[in-house]
Amino acid sequence: MQRTHGTPQRGAALILSIYVVTVLSILSLSMTTRGLNEHLMTRHALWDEGAFHLADAGLDASMSAIRAGNLSGPLASTGMGAGDYWTDAFVPLGGNLYQITAHGRTTEPHERQLEAVVEATPLSVFQYPLFGDQLLDLRGNVETDSYDSTLGAYGACLSDCTGANPVYNIGSNGDLGTNATYSNATTSGPATSGLALSGSSVIINGQMNFGVGTTDPTYEYEQHSITGSANPLITASPDAVAMSDPLLLPPVTVPAYLTCTDLPINSFETVTLPPGEYCYHDVTMGAPDALGAYGPAVLEVTGEVTIYITGNFQASAQSFIGNTATPSYTVIQLASPQGAMVTSASLAGTTQLYGAIYAPDSHVTLAGTVDIYGSITAYSIRQTGDVQVHYDEGLQDRDDIIGGYLTHVEAWREL
């Protein structure tokens, strides 16, 4: 009988082929499964990392809220990207320290928490020689610079007085500022918002600060703020910047225990105030004496005072206000009801102010020849004539009126 030898070989090849296909299928499935697992692990890692960054954004938002005066929190859920963040109530730890817990969560169920201890240092509203919340209109001759009254008088020699390089108590922190986000200056009629420089000479030993959100402030300053015959000289570089946070201007509240009266100070009269709080309706300085003559009208202080004014403050002729050695002793607050603009301040004649005026809901007018050793912060400031403003850096220690907070992370950890 004749046998056929090819069939067993073809069967063996088929079995081998099935075996190879099975092994390759198992390997392919294994690699696919591994790839899917790695992809899933990568996605989980991204979600987890995203949750961390969202929690970090919550901390940043918390510090921004503190700088804007919110010291309590909490911050509500805020969407960002593929998730959201929120914070618990801020926990005061004593002094200027606060504990903040921030949560970050992605759309997938991933959440991370960060805890930080933040120091919130209060800042005085007196950060600038002149700050107009919505308007700073300079239409005369103006020059600003700075000094530190805690080191001595303006212009006093501080070191190397007999040498080749004497150092004087004159600085370049004469910045101008406004919370307005744009400038709107015209050559005819008053400006309505922002900054207007149309005087014959404006010298700013510092820089110009515009409100938060101002885009390309240098361009805006150059294109819109220099009008008419203005020849401003800005000594800082850059000459204009947008503030990272607005200057807070809390309303003025007169303590209920104070009684407000009128205070006239005529020529050749002197009123001396010891440390304390005072309230006046109208303060009028510089009117002629009984014989019709004009002369010095003096309102001097011997220690730290706060003067509340519910009507108008007018200083003319040869008025003097404050304390020459320590301008930070004198703070005058104009108490207009918020938004009412019913009080105002006017410095004219040859007035000298050694102190600060705070008028968040009032207009301040500067006319004549006025010398200021201190600071003015108001809703609007309009100037004509000749004004010298020597910003006293010592006013930064006068933080009973808080214009914001400086934040610093002392420590942080992940929970």
The structural domains of the chain, ordered by start, are 9-123+405-414 (3.30.1300.30), 130-397 (no CATH)
- Mean pLDDT value of segment 168-192: 71
Q: Which two tokens stand for residue 342?
A: 């019913």
State how far the Cα of 58 lies from the Cα of 76, in Å rounded to an integer: 10
pLDDT score of 113: 94
Dihedral-angle region of residue 385 (phi above 0 means left; psi in -120 to 50 means alpha; beta otherwise): left
pLDDT digits 0-9 by tens, 259-278: 999 999 999 999 999 999 99
Q: How many CB atoms lie within 10 A of CB 337?
A: 12
pLDDT score of 187: 36
State how far the Cα of 374 lies from the Cα of 303, in Å rounded to an integer: 16
Contact 380, 137 (CB under 8 A): yes
* CB-count exposure of residue 232 (10 Å: 0-12, 13-18, 19+): buried
pLDDT score of 19: 73
Average pLDDT of the chain is: 86
3-class DSSP state of 328: helix
Share of the chain above pLDDT 90, in %: 62
Confidence of residue 337 (pLDDT cuts 50, 70, 90): confident
Q: E strand or H helix at 15, and its extent?
A: helix 6-67
Q: How many CB atoms lie within 10 A of CB 253?
A: 10
pLDDT digits 0-9 by tens, 94-118: 999 999 999 999 877 789 999 999 9
Highest mean pLDDT among 21-30, 40-49, 78-87, 326-335: 326-335
Share of the chain above pLDDT 70, in %: 84
